[in-house]
Amino acid sequence: MNKRTALTLYFALWIAIVTGAIWCMIQVGYPLWAAVVAAYLLFVFLNGSLSYRSVARRLRLEGKRPPPYLQYLFLPKGIPRFKEEAPRSTHVFVGVAALLTGVFFVFCGVALILDAEWSRIPHPLVAAAICLGVTSIGAAFLYLAWRLFAFRRLPNDAA
């Protein structure tokens, strides 16, 4: 059996299992979204388990120690290294997301402060603290965006 046929049969088997699991959960009375989420989690768990078994067997044959099961299931590529420099495109993408989120939170916090009818609020100090908290979260996101956009020249950059 070639790889293409095996892969097709594998996907057909998964489609049958997922369809059956979703149908059974709906018949029991669960909503469709819960059945789909449960089928997805089943897919991730079983595929991760099969992958771990294969990798563990290969590493044992090579004389190496396999990683712990849960670590491999949730972090299959290993623990991320935080000291490595991210590409500039990642800085720009995350910076734009942080900028938009910060502007949204600051806008919401300031709008709540300016639009509130403070004389009608039973606990104005709590409401003010909430508004300032929302504005502070927005300011933190804006600071994060500013730090992400502040590119430093790296020594190994040619241009």
Model confidence over 85-137: pLDDT tens digits? 777 788 888 889 999 999 999 999 999 888 888 888 898 899 899 999 999 99
Q: Which residue has the tokens 């420099």?
A: 85
Question: What is the domain range of residue 31?
Answer: 3-74
**Rounded-to-integer distance, Cα 19 and Cα 42, Å:** 12
Position 92 scores a pLDDT of: 86
Does the global pTM surpass 0.85?
Answer: no
Which residue in 96, 83, 87 sits closest to 141, CA to CA?
Answer: 96
Last residue of a domain, one of 48, 74, 100: 74
Instruction: Provide the number of structural domains found in the chain.
Output: 2
**Predicted local confidence at residue 79, as pLDDT:** 75
Angstrom distance (rounded) from CA 14 to CA 19: 8
Same domain, 67 and 92: no
- For residue 83, tell me if it sits in a domain: no
Q: Are residues 11 and 64 in the same domain?
A: yes
Q: Residue 80: inside a domain, yes or no?
A: no
Structural domain contains residue 155: no
pLDDT at residue 152, rounded to an integer: 58
State whether 62 and 109 are in the same domain. no
